Structure formats: structure tokens, C-alpha cells
Amino acid sequence: MARFITDLFEVSRRDTGPLIRLALPICGAQLAQAGMSVVDVMMTGRLSATDLAAVSVGSSLWMPLMLFMTGTLMGLTPVVAHLLGAQRRADIRIQVHQALWIGLALGILSAVLLWTAVMPIFAAMDVPDEVAQRSAGYLAAVGFGMPGVAIFQSLRAFSDGMNHTRPALWISLIGLAVNIPSNYVLIYGGEGLTALLGDGLPAPLQALPALGAMGCGIATALSMWVMGLSMAAYTRRSRAYGDVELWREPSPPRWRLIGELLHIGVPIGVAIFVEVTLFTLIALFVASLGEVTVAAHQVALNYTGLLFMLPLSLGMALTVRVGNTLGQARPDLARLVAWNGILIALVVALLNSLILWLTAVPVIELYTHDTAVQQLTLSLIGLAMIYQVSDSLQVSLAGALRGYKDTRVIMLITMLAYWLVGLGGGHWLGVYGLFDAVAPMGVHGYWTGLIAGLTVAAILLGERLRRRSKAVARGDEAIPDTD
């Protein structure tokens, strides 16, 4: 044990800097992409409550689809990282092409679902007719962009695996820069274009119709395609990828390689989908507790969600560092790299808790001036400070395990911890309390359930990483090879 601690300290001095340099651009890219959703909500909200509701309801359908697709394509990252570490650069191009085939198939399937399946869902949800119609138009437009975002996410997974995370940041910022003016023009029509460029526009431009929620969907699809094509152009022209001639010649679908990528990627997509549905279902349960509770829950979740971007990005970077090291056939070092990343995640968690403690009151005041909402939000932020450690640890542990191509266990642990403990326990505490000892806790019960679920996930994932990293280092288990 003493030897392990000494070696860990040595690795920490060498590996912490590269890990953080990988993680920070990923964090920026995540924030830029989240910014698009914020812009959509702000701009449609200024037009009408109906358009805002249409975009909000529509987002609850297409975002889980996109996140499942993104998670599935993230299976490419550890594959590329392993091949890079093993100096098998010639094999990377074929793997990326297979991921692109997967991405295009998922993108087209997602588009078809958004074009055909939404109205029955809206009918089952009792969505008001006007909101349903506008939301269907919004989703139909977004559907055209799903293949574009699939291309972006496939190439981003390749670039991240090559230790080159900055392109995703810059191209996400380009997407945001396209999204903002496109929203102005398409949501507000000629009036929006005049506000953006001033008077003196030609009459046809001034007569452009205000498309509302559908215009927001078109702007989103446009941003998706700009990001996808920009990433394709960058990976073709940049010398940052060395001798990986990604666009030299297309590779046809190779079903065995596609199966291997799906074997790694689909559990990641399912795990992300489980996490998204956890927060979606909690929001639906909380909706019955009154508008003050709903507002406080959303404010607290939005603020803490921004802080979560750093540990999330750290976990994604850790996948690359562990994968690279395992590809070099250095399993002892990979184990140290993984646990060093977990220690950094712990430091980040404590930093996030400190930020929440110092900034909660002024930040909450930026969201709302309602005293009741402020007080309730502050109490939820107190609970959020508690789960920062569990949340940061579980996402980083999952990232390290993905570096080992160990994704199915993550999926199973996530389903158990999030749905059974987090959602089930939280709902029980919120509605029924804890037997006769604790009265029903309302929204605080759901947040307590989140703490319990994240803690269970962190403990189980930690034990899995301990066993897996030890077994691989001893040679008892092998990492699945990539042909």
C-alpha cells in the first residue's frame, strides 16, 4: 500500500497537468452546447408563452434521443485512445468510418422518430393542441439536424481520443454563434432581422414571417449541420492528427467492427439516457408540489448543472488518459492514472461545494426576486453541496472504467443507483417520508434521494474500478482488443 501511494504521488505530479489540459476544452464545449438551449428558451420566451412551452416540451423529447446517440458514439473514444497508445494509427481511420456509419444511422432514425411519433406522445401527455402543433413543427425542423449532430459527435469522439479536445470547443462556439442570429431572424422574422441589422433593409427581408417555435427548430438544425461540417473540414485539413489520413478513402460498413463499437457504446448511451430520465421524472413529480417548489427546483438544478460540467469533462478526459496508457501495454501505470484522476475529481468536488457556499445567495437573486423561491432554493443548494462529492466521484469513476472499455457494468450500476435508489427512494421520502420517524419531505425528499443514488453509484463504481484495474494490472483480465 505504501508503494502504491508513493507511485500515485509520482504519477500525480506528471499526469495532473495533461489531464486538466484535456478536460478544460471539453468543459468549454459542453458549456457552449448548453448555451444553445439557454438561447432557445430565452428567445422563444420573449415571443410568447405558447412558443416557449412548445420548445420546452419538444426539447424533452429530442434531447434524450440526442444524448443517447452521443453516448453511443462515445464508445469510439476509448477505442481510438487504445489504438493511439499502441501506435496502431493505421487502424484508427477504419474505426472512425464505422462510427460515422453508426452515427448516420442513429441520426436518420432519430429524425424519423421526430417526424412520425411525436403527436401520439403529445396526445398521451394531454399537451394542449396549440402547444402540440407548434412543438411538432419545432421537432420536425430539429429532425433535419440530427444526422448533422451525429457527424459532429462521431468526429468529436475521434478527436478526443487523439488527445485533441480543442476543436470541439471552437466548433461548439461556432455553433452557438450561428444559433443566436439564426434564432433572431427565424423566430421573430423581419422584425428580428431589423433589430439585428438596423433599418434600411430591403422590403422582402422586412416581410419575412415570424416562425416562432418552428424557426427555433430550424436554427437548431442549422447549427447542428454547421458544427458537423466544420468538424469534418477541420479533421480533413488539420495536421494535428499526424498520419491518420481520415478522409483518404471511405471504408464500407464492416459489421463486426460496428458490432464491437456498439458493444462498448450502447451501454454508455443507455447510462446517459437513464440519468436524463431520472431528472425528467423528478421534475414531473415535483410539478405537483406547486409553482414555488417547481421554480426553486429548476433554479437549483440549473445552477448546480453548470458546475457539474467540470467533473463531467474530467471524466471524459480520464477515459482518454486511461485508454492511451492501456494501449501502451502499461496496465500498472493505467491504474495509477485512473486513481489520480479520481483524486482530482475529489478536489474539484470540494471546490464546487465552496463555490456554492460562497455564491449561492447572489446567484439565486439573479434568477428570481421571489423571497419564497429564494429561501427554498437556498435549502436545496445546501443539499447540492452534500452530493458534489458523490456526483464528481461517480462521473470520474465511470470515465476511468470507460478507458478500460468496461461499459456494461456502468450501465447496470447506473440503472440500479439512479432509478431504484435515486428515483424510487426520493419519491418515497418525498411523498411518504421514512416510516413514522420522518414526515413526507416534499422536494427535499427527492433531493435526498439524489444524494443516496449518487452515493450508491460512486461506491459501486469505485469497487468495480478497484477490482478491474487490479485484475488487469495482474494480468488476470485482458482488455478487449480492437481489430
Cα separation of 350 and 387, whole Å? 10
| Buried b / exposed e along 169-185 (16+ C-beta atoms within 10 A) | bbbbbbbbebbeebbbb
Q: Quick one: residue 475, left, alpha or beta (phi over 0 = left, psi -120 to 50 = alpha)?
A: left
Helix axes 213-237 and 2-47, enclosed angle (nearest 10) = 140
C-alpha cell belonging to residue 51:
412558443
C-alpha cell belonging to residue 459:
461506491
Per the document, the length of the chain is: 483
Alpha helices (H) along 417-477 = 426-431, 443-474
> Is 410:463 a contact under the CB 8 Å cutoff?
no
3 state SS of 434:
strand
Cα separation of 118 and 133, whole Å? 10
pLDDT in tens, the chain (483 residues): 667 777 677 777 888 888 899 899 999 988 888 888 877 877 777 777 778 778 877 887 888 889 899 999 999 999 999 999 888 888 899 999 999 999 999 999 999 999 988 888 778 767 778 888 888 899 999 999 999 999 999 999 999 999 999 999 999 999 999 998 888 888 887 776 666 666 666 766 666 777 888 989 999 999 999 999 999 999 998 888 878 888 888 889 999 999 999 999 999 999 988 888 887 778 777 767 777 787 787 788 778 888 888 899 999 999 999 999 998 889 899 899 999 999 999 999 999 999 989 988 888 887 777 788 888 889 989 888 888 899 999 999 999 999 999 999 999 999 999 989 988 998 888 888 776 666 777 888 888 998 999 999 999 999 999 999 998 888 766 676 665
Cα separation of 261 and 266, whole Å? 8
**Which residues are registered as beta bridge partners of 434?**
438
Helices H, strands E: what count in the chain?
A: 18, 0
3 state SS of 438:
strand
> Is 409:464 a contact under the CB 8 Å cutoff?
yes
> Is 208:185 a contact under the CB 8 Å cutoff?
yes
**pTM of the predicted model as reported, rounded to 2 decimal places:** 0.88
C-alpha cell belonging to residue 109:
432514425
| E strands present in 280-344 | none
- Gyration radius (Cα) of the chain, Å: 23
Residue 76's Cβ-count burial label (10 Å; 0-12, 13-18, 19+) is: buried
